Chains A and B, each alone.
Chain A
Amino acid sequence: GQQVMQIPQYQHVQEGEDFTTYCNSSTTLSNIQWYKQRPGGHPVFLIQLVKSGEVKKQKRLTFQFGEAKKNSSLHITATQTTDVGTYFCAGPGNTNAGKSTFGDGTTLTVKP
Chain B
Amino acid sequence: DGGITQSPKYLFRKEGQNVTLSCEQNLNHDAMYWYRQDPGQGLRLIYYSQIVNDFQKGDIAEGYSVSREKKESFPLTVTSAQKNPTAFYLCASSRRNTEAFFGQGTRLTVV
Residues of A at the B interface (CB closer than 8 Å) are: 6, 30-31, 33, 35, 41-45, 48, 88, 90, 92, 95, 97-100, 102-105, 107
Contact = CB atoms under 8 A, between A and B. Distances in A.
B42 interface: yes
Nearest to A4: B42
Contacts, number: 53
Contacts of A41: 104
B82 to A, nearest CB: 21
A112 B83 CA distance: 41
A104 B41 contact: yes
Contact of A45 (B42, B99, B105): B99
Given A43-B90, A99-B31, 9 more contacts: A33-B99, A44-B102, A45-B100, A48-B99, A88-B42, A95-B97, A98-B94, A102-B35, A104-B41
